[in-house]
């Protein structure tokens, strides 16, 4: 039992040397969502899973930022969880890894507070998510085709103007706490 507990702890912790004279070890937790849940939304036609999330929806006088993120199945990144569940320093560290790792594809869109006032916060959020997805597809058009994708959107509304070539777009309520690619998008946003 003790060995199993130690194995479980070692699977979620790494140790970093403390640079003090005592050279003691400090555990650092590396939690990450599993990708099995997002794969349940896919079929054999979906080569790519794009997760989409937004930030700033509850801000009183700021922009809405949305991000779309696609992490190929062969790319492994630890620390992908809902951005609201992480400390700022961990979120910034994971953001740097996501945006600099070869193979990770991402796009961002920002809707200004002036436009939010014109079209309302819900429409601004949906527009930002659509534009972030379009940005990803345009930025990486030689690596990814909309016809090979499923888009998983955090929330309960599908943006109405998603690129027509995308095979499937699905909402996932609380997706940023369940779906790996949506959580990655929440960190980027």
DSSP state for residue 62 in the 8-state scheme: S
CA–CA distances in Å: residue 173 to residues 5, 30, 148, 155, 167: 33, 24, 23, 5, 20
Give every CB contact of residue 16 below 8 A, 6+ residues apart in sequence: 25, 26, 28
Compute the average pLDDT of residues 13-22: 32
Per-residue pLDDT at 3 exceeds 70: no
pLDDT band for position 109 (cuts 50, 70, 90): very high
CA–CA distances in Å: residue 62 to residues 13, 57, 112, 185: 37, 9, 7, 19
- pLDDT above 70 covers a percentage of the chain that reads 81
Question: Are the beta carbons of 148 and 5 closer than 8 angstroms?
Answer: no
Q: Residue 121 is encoded by which pair of tokens?
A: 């916060």
């Amino acid at each position: 039992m003790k060995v199993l507990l130690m194995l479980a702890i070692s699977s979620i912790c790494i140790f970093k040397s403390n640079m003090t004279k005592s050279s003691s070890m400090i555990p650092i937790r590396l939690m990450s969502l599993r990708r099995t849940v997002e794969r349940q939304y896919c079929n054999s036609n979906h080569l790519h899973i794009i997760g989409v999330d937004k930030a700033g929806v509850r801000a009183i006088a700021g922009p809405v930022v949305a991000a779309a993120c696609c992490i190929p199945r062969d790319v492994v990144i630890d620390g992908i969880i809902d951005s609201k569940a992480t400390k700022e320093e961990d979120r910034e560290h994971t953001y740097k890894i996501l945006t600099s790792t070869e193979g990770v594809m991402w796009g961002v869109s920002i809707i200004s507070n002036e436009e939010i006032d014109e079209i309302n916060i819900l429409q601004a959020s949906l527009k930002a998510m659509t534009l972030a997805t379009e940005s990803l597809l345009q930025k990486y058009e030689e690596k990814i085709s909309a016809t090979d994708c499923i888009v998983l959107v955090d929330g309960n509304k599908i943006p109405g103007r998603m690129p027509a070539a995308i095979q499937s777009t699905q909402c996932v309520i609380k997706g940023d706490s369940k779906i790996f690619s949506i959580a990655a998008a929440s960190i980027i946003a």
